[in-house]
């Protein structure tokens, strides 16, 4: 065994915070020098390497973490390349006797971590891993037959009834750095930020990546949106949801911290809102549970019968969807919000996903891929579970035949049209009656609103009713084949 004075490496991954970070706290408590490291590894995740918007976030989140760690006394070391080799190298350079990390649950990460753990242990390096990002880890939640849950409600009932995540950990008061500084790469050299063109300009006014930004977001949510959450979380025109998703994905805040905070403000925000919000955190847990037990979720239909679904390869329609040019205002508003800010409201995510899959008959994996690249909260578990939920091919999924009508969805959830007007300004002058169906407005109304359909705003790329009938027929073909 290595001497108890040798350094401990804390390998940061999706836990970019110093508070309630069990791996970091354990390292600090050991009294040994601490080497915090982040490794940019684009090899291990294969096709799921971080997308463009996630890379933007990562850059800023690491900047914030590096500054917090420096203030505690242990500068962060940055390395890139294959995680196993980078860690090996760091162990050699530093003489570290232990490596601590917080667990990840993606299939590629689990495989990577298992290999690294065996290899380090074989060399008598102490390896310890912790839970920092879930209220209940997947192997702890089973139904009465001992199987994983496949349906959300009983899953959440089971988790909720036993929920006692404990008190969040304080940040270590200080960290001891190793005697000699270790070489670190330069974050700026990693090229995580876009340059030409700088498509992330619209992200900056919206987000503050990092632990302090996450905390501010939580405080702001409890001050305002949380009081309207249960009744208003489906309104994209209102700031009623927390927008904590990227902070949660990167581990800048933990669900345990959120749970503890909810307990403190339960009376102020109201029981119904508190429980509804907690249950959405529950959906995040459920998605991880699905990915853990069914590791092919991001690539394969959970329900095999969808393998024969007659998807259409239509690049022009896909492009129109990606760029917010479908001619359906609520769909276009959502896709433009996504492109501009790296985020989209959940109700609108459901509408645009349903439109891609059902109106355009484009494979859900195309949508999943686009979201992966453009969302700042892109998360393998949540993204794949949600896409398969909308497609109807997942576990506990919405039935395929439930096809969102983009006109009535827009009218219902954006009743004053504020959301559509913000993101599709070229039709902003239309009266509410036509805002979600500009093609129904006669020539006078269109002229008065300054719209020339097909020129200033697209004609709808598919007819809603015809597309709906086509989708139902496609679904019927699956049933007939069964
Ligand atoms: P809030 O309503 O404030 O909820 C709090 C937290 O609970 C969220 O931050 C998130 O971590 C979790 N959560 C909320 N709703 C869900 C849900 N339906 N499934 C899983 N977790 C949820 N979420 C991601 O974090 N990453 C993704 O890549 C992602 N892809 C999606 C793709 C599609 C097609 C759809 C329909 C949904 C997707 N979601 C994804 C889920 C959801 O839309 C976002 O988590 C939510 O919009 C984030 O906003 P919020 O933080 O304001 O949520």
CATH at residue 271? 1.25.40.80
Does residue 375's CB lie within 6 angstroms of at least one atom of ligand 1? yes
Please, what is the end-to-end C-alpha distance for the chain in angstroms? 60
Burial class of residue 164 in the structure, from the number of CB atoms within 10 Å of its CB (0-12 exposed, 13-18 middle, 19+ buried): exposed
Mark whether 229 and 251 lie in a shared domain.
Answer: yes
Mark whether 476 and 335 lie in a shared domain.
Answer: yes
Q: Are 54 and 203 in contact (CB under 8 A)?
A: no
Say whether pLDDT at 1 is over 70. Answer: no
Mark whether 110 and 139 lie in a shared domain.
Answer: no
Say whether pLDDT at 372 is over 70. Answer: yes
What is the per-residue DSSP string for 391-411? HT-STTPPPTT----HHHHHH
Does residue 386's CB lie within 6 angstroms of at least one atom of ligand 1? yes
Mark whether 356 and 405 lie in a shared domain.
Answer: yes
Mark whether 346 and 462 lie in a shared domain.
Answer: yes
| CATH number of the domain where residue 392 is located | 1.10.579.10
235 domain-assigned: yes
Q: What is the residue range of 19's domain?
A: 8-131
- Ligand 1 centroid, distance to 253 Cα (angstroms): 15
Q: What is the pLDDT of residue 229?
A: 98
Q: At what angle do helices 211-223 and 52-72 cross, to 10 degrees?
A: 100
- Chosen domain end from 260, 293, 326: 293
298 domain-assigned: no
Burial class of residue 3 in the structure, from the number of CB atoms within 10 Å of its CB (0-12 exposed, 13-18 middle, 19+ buried): exposed
Mark whether 320 and 466 lie in a shared domain.
Answer: yes
Does residue 247's CB lie within 6 angstroms of at least one atom of ligand 1? no
Catalytic one among 283, 411, 426, 439?
A: 283
230 domain-assigned: yes
- Chosen domain end from 252, 271, 293: 293
Q: What is the pLDDT of residue 343?
A: 98
- Tell me the best of 206, 219, 245 to mutate to test the pocket of ligand 1, counting ligand atoms within 8 Å of each CB and taking the most: 245
Query: What is the tens place of the pLDDT at every residue in 423-477?
Result: 999 999 999 999 999 999 999 999 999 999 999 999 999 999 999 999 999 999 8
Does residue 233's CB lie within 6 angstroms of at least one atom of ligand 1? yes
DSSP 149: P
Mark whether 156 and 96 lie in a shared domain.
Answer: no
Look over the chain and give the mean of its residue pLDDT values, rounded to a whole number: 96
185 domain-assigned: no
Mark whether 14 and 138 lie in a shared domain.
Answer: no
Mark whether 261 and 316 lie in a shared domain.
Answer: no
Name the phi and psi angles at 189, rounded to 5.
-75, -15
The predicted complex's ipTM stands at: 0.99
Residue scoring higher pLDDT (195 or 306): 306
Maximum alpha-carbon separation in the chain: 83
Catalytic one among 101, 207, 343, 364?
A: 364
Domain count, the chain: 3
Mark whether 335 and 379 lie in a shared domain.
Answer: yes
* 43 SS3 class: coil
Q: For residues 153 and 281, what is the distance between their CA atoms, to the nearest angstrom?
A: 13
- Ligand 1 centroid, distance to 310 Cα (angstroms): 28
191 domain-assigned: no
201 domain-assigned: no
Share of the chain above pLDDT 70, in %: 99
- Ligand 1 centroid, distance to 188 Cα (angstroms): 30
Q: Which atom of ligand 1 is nearest to the CA of 377?
A: 26
Tell if the pTM clears 0.80, that is, is over it.
yes
170 domain-assigned: no
- Chosen domain end from 293, 324, 346: 293
Residue nearest to atom 43 of ligand 1 (CA): 346
Residue nearest to atom 30 of ligand 1 (CA): 383
* 217 SS3 class: helix
| CATH number of the domain where residue 12 is located | 3.40.50.620
Mark whether 42 and 108 lie in a shared domain.
Answer: yes
Q: Are 222 and 268 in contact (CB under 8 A)?
A: yes
Q: What is the pLDDT of residue 214?
A: 98
Confidence class for position 398, pLDDT limits 50, 70, 90 = confident
Mark whether 250 and 391 lie in a shared domain.
Answer: no
Q: What is the pLDDT of residue 3?
A: 61
200 domain-assigned: no
């Amino acid at each position: 065994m290595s001497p108890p004075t040798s350094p401990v490496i804390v390998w940061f991954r999706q836990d970019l915070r110093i508070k309630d970070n069990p791996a970091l706290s354990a390292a600090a408590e050991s009294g040994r020098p601490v080497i915090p490291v982040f490794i940019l590894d684009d090899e291990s995740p294969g096709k799921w390497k971080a997308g463009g918007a996630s890379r933007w976030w990562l850059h800023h989140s690491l900047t914030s973490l590096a500054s917090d760690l420096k203030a505690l006394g242990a500068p962060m070391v940055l390395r890139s390349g294959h995680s196993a080799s980078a860690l090996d190298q760091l162990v050699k350079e530093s003489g570290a006797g232990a490596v601590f990390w917080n667990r990840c649950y993606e299939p590629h990460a689990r495989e990577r971590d298992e290999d690294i753990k065996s290899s380090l242990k074989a060399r008598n390096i102490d390896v310890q891993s912790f839970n920092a990002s879930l209220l209940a880890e997947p192997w702890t939640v089973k139904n009465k037959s001992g199987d994983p849950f496949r349906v959300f409600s009983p899953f959440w009932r089971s988790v909720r009834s036993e929920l006692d995540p404990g008190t969040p950990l304080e940040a270590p008061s200080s960290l001891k750095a190793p005697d000699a500084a270790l070489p670190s790469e330069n974050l700026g050299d990693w090229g995580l930020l876009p340059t030409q063109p700088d498509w992330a300009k619209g992200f900056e006014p919206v987000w503050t990546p990092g632990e302090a930004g996450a905390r501010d977001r939580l405080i702001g949510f409890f001050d305002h949106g949380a009081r309207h959450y249960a009744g208003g979380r489906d309104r994209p025109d209102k700031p009623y949801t927390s927008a904590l998703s990227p902070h949660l994905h990167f581990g800048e805040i933990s669900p345990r911290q959120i749970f503890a905070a909810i307990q403190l403000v339960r009376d102020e925000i109201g029981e119904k809102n508190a429980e509804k919000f907690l249950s959405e955190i529950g959906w995040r847990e459920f998605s991880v549970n699905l990915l853990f037990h069914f590791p092919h979720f991001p690539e394969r239909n959970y329900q095999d019968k969808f393998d024969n679904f007659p998807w259409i390869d239509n690049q022009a329609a896909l492009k129109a969807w990606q760029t917010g040019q479908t001619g359906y205002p609520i769909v276009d508003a959502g896709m433009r919000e996504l492109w501009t800010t790296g985020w989209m409201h959940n109700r609108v995510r459901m509408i645009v996903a349903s439109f891609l899959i059902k109106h355009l008959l484009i494979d859900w994996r195309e949508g999943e891929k686009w979201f992966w690249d453009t969302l700042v909260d892109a998360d393998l578990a949540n993204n794949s579970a949600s896409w398969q939920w909308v497609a109807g091919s997942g576990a506990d999924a919405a039935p395929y035949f439930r096809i969102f009508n983009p006109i009535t969805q827009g009218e219902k959830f954006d009743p004053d049209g504020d959301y559509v007007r913000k993101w599709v300004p070229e039709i902003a002058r239309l009266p509410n009656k036509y805002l979600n169906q500009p093609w129904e407005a006669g020539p006078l109304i269109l002229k008065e609103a300054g719209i020339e359909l097909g020129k200033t705003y697209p004609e709808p790329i598919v007819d809603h009713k015809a597309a709906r009938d086509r989708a139902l027929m496609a679904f019927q073909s699956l049933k007939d084949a069964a």
